[in-house]
Amino acid sequence: MHYAVIMAGGSGQRLWPLSREHRPKQIINIFAEQSLLRLCVNRVRHIFDPEHILVVTNAEYAAVVREHLPDLPAENVLGEPMGRNTANAIGLAATVLKLKSPEAVMAVFSADQIIEPVAPLAEAIREALSFIESHPTALFTFGIKARYAHTGLGYLKRGSDAGQDGIFSVAAFKEKPNKSTAHKYIRSGKYCWNSGMFVWRVDTILQQLECFLPHNAERLRRIGQAWQGESRDEVLQQEFGELENISIDFAVMERAQEVYMCELDCHWEDVGSYQTLADNIGAVDQDDNVTTPETRCEWLDCQNNIAISESPDHLIAAVHVEDLIIVHTPDATLICRRDETDRLREMLGQLKDKGHERYL
């Protein structure tokens, strides 16, 4: 049995005010009137039927996600009481799947990615599923052919040939490099971007968590024992809060022995900022000003700006400005330098401190 697990728990603070606490970035219809989550479900439906697609999200978003994805069974949307990073989102999904089929193979995806075209990805997933069927104790991940020396992504170093066309061992996981190191990776021809997508057996990943995170594994086991009973919510709330907050790369992938990969040559983006959003849905003029399709904007002597509006009848007029991000929504407007977006969380904290929670 094969399952897809989509991680959709991020709050998307770097995309405020488009993304809000009640409306996270994964469900905003920004790509051809479709959300990132909808696009991800559509991609995996090339291989998995709706009954075999699970979504792990924050508990406060669960009802919204179920409404957003009516083609998925309601029980396939799992709500985390609080964010505890990817190791525990994956651990929760594996714990639930173990109750159905402990020897099932699960493929893990992130909801906030753009991958085009879909056909090469679908073929790579099929190959990975087949590889895991014949190598049940292995862990599989996907690299993305590096188009340039990206300093905001982790890298995978390709190891030896695994004896199956296009599949290699992973020699090393590398954290986000500086510019010089990233250029060395590209020149070597041995590195690719780390996509954060995985394939493995349910029982194998739970065994790996038991090996490297026994504290977390015990709490996940308690959650599994209570999952089909009346105490599920109480136990989930209690035990999940005790989990160590850690990514699957740090917890398992960088420490495990049998890790394999294939490399995808496709357009891939992790949509975590206005820059990546603009790169994928915006039109660029001769002065490098980016405007999204639904945005009405007039530029006068402006360079290198981004304008996004949720109101098609609202006009943005900009005069002699450069390097700005301008985002208009019906109740909040953001104006920020393009190189200062890492301070958005600071602004959200200020809004909360001043009693403006309704805008968060």
The tokens describing 85, both together, are 């990073």
Mean pLDDT by 10 residues, the chain (360 residues): 94 88 84 85 96 97 95 97 96 98 96 93 96 97 95 93 91 93 95 97 98 98 97 97 96 96 93 85 90 93 95 94 96 95 93 95
| Rounded-to-integer distance, Cα 277 and Cα 211, Å | 39
Task: Provide the pLDDT for residue 70.
Answer: 97
Would you give the distance in Å from CA 80 to the centre of its chain?
A: 15
CB 118 within 8 A of CB 46: yes
Task: Provide the pLDDT for residue 287.
Answer: 96
| DSSP secondary structure letter of residue 314 | P
For 173, counting Cβ atoms within 10 Å of its Cβ (0-12 exposed, 13-18 middle, 19+ buried), the class is middle
CB 277 within 8 A of CB 15: yes
Closest CA to 140 of 152, 129, 126: 129
Task: Provide the pLDDT for residue 318.
Answer: 97
Task: Provide the pLDDT for residue 22.
Answer: 83
Question: Which domains, from first to last, does the chain contain?
Answer: 2-270 (3.90.550.10), 277-359 (no CATH)
Task: Provide the pLDDT for residue 23.
Answer: 84
Task: Provide the pLDDT for residue 28.
Answer: 85
Task: Provide the pLDDT for residue 34.
Answer: 86
Task: Provide the pLDDT for residue 299.
Answer: 98
For 286, counting Cβ atoms within 10 Å of its Cβ (0-12 exposed, 13-18 middle, 19+ buried), the class is exposed
Q: Which residues contact 257 (CB under 8 A, 6 or more apart)?
A: none
| Rounded-to-integer distance, Cα 37 and Cα 40, Å | 5
The tokens describing 131, both together, are 């590889």
Concatenate the DSSP letters of all residues of 318-332 into one string.
EES-BSEEEEE-SS-
Enter the pTM of the model: 0.92
| pLDDT tens-digit series, residues 55-107 | 999 999 999 999 999 999 999 999 999 999 999 999 999 999 999 999 999 99
Q: Which residues contact 359 (CB under 8 A, 6 or more apart)?
A: 17, 20, 331, 332, 351
Q: Which residues contact 172 (CB under 8 A, 6 or more apart)?
A: 156, 157
Task: Provide the pLDDT for residue 144.
Answer: 96
Would you give the distance in Å from CA 142 to the centre of its chain?
A: 14
SS3 128: helix
SS3 118: helix
SS3 51: helix
Which residue type, as a one-letter code, is found at position 205?
I
Q: Which residues contact 79 (CB under 8 A, 6 or more apart)?
A: 57, 58, 59, 60, 61, 62
Strand-pair partners of 157:
172, 191
Concatenate the DSSP letters of all residues of 305-320 into one string.
-EEEES-TTPEEEEES
